[in-house]
């Protein structure tokens, strides 16, 4: 927010976070039209960030997994809707997975165990494929 405020030279800014922990592009597509601002003015910037949850291993986490081609289609449609209402759209790719931290913290919290010796539902290889897909969608959207 501070950087945006500085860029506005002290003008007024409003920041809305419409994301929810665990959301996938499927969830984002379902709610994108309802969470975006309506009105005559065109807001300056939207940041769209999906892929970390979409890219989980379907064999371990089938309820959250979104197949790669479906992810790209969802993301392209989200971008189309957002571009119609915002002056600029930034797409962020999913972050890399740090498996030791994921195993020690997230997996333990949600599964009640350390996860040692268990297959994790996230991997660098899967996340990389979805990160590349974000770049492809951005290029296709004129970015």
> Tens digits of per-residue pLDDT, 71-114?
999 999 999 999 999 989 999 999 998 888 887 777 677 666 65
What is the average pLDDT across 53-62?
93
CATH superfamily of 43-143: SGNH hydrolase (3.40.50.1110)
Q: Are the C-beta atoms of 76 and 136 separated by less than 8 Å?
A: no
Q: Calculate ∠ Cα 43-45-50, nearest 5°.
A: 125
What's the pTM? Answer: 0.83
Give the whole-angstrom CA distance, residue 87 versus residue 35: 17
Give the whole-angstrom CA distance, residue 63 versus residue 26: 11
> Does residue 4 have a pLDDT over 90?
no
Residue 127 structure tokens = 């996340």
Distances (CA, A) of 127 to 14, 18, 50, 55, 109: 31, 22, 11, 6, 21
DSSP state of 105: I
């Amino acid at each position: 927010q501070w950087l945006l405020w500085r860029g506005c030279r002290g003008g007024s800014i409003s920041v809305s976070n419409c994301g929810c922990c665990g959301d996938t592009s499927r969830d984002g597509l379902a709610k994108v039209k309802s969470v975006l601002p309506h009105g005559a003015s065109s807001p300056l910037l939207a940041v769209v960030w999906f892929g970390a949850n979409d890219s989980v291993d379907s064999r371990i986490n089938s309820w959250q997994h979104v197949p790669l081609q479906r992810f790209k289609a969802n993301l392209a449609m989200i971008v189309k809707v957002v571009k119609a209402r915002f002056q600029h759209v930034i797409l962020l790719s999913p972050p890399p997975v740090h498996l030791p931290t994921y195993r020690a913290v997230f997996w333990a919290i949600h599964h009640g165990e350390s996860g040692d010796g268990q297959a994790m539902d996230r991997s660098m290889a899967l996340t990389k494929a979805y990160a590349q897909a974000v770049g492809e969608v951005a290029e296709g959207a004129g970015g």
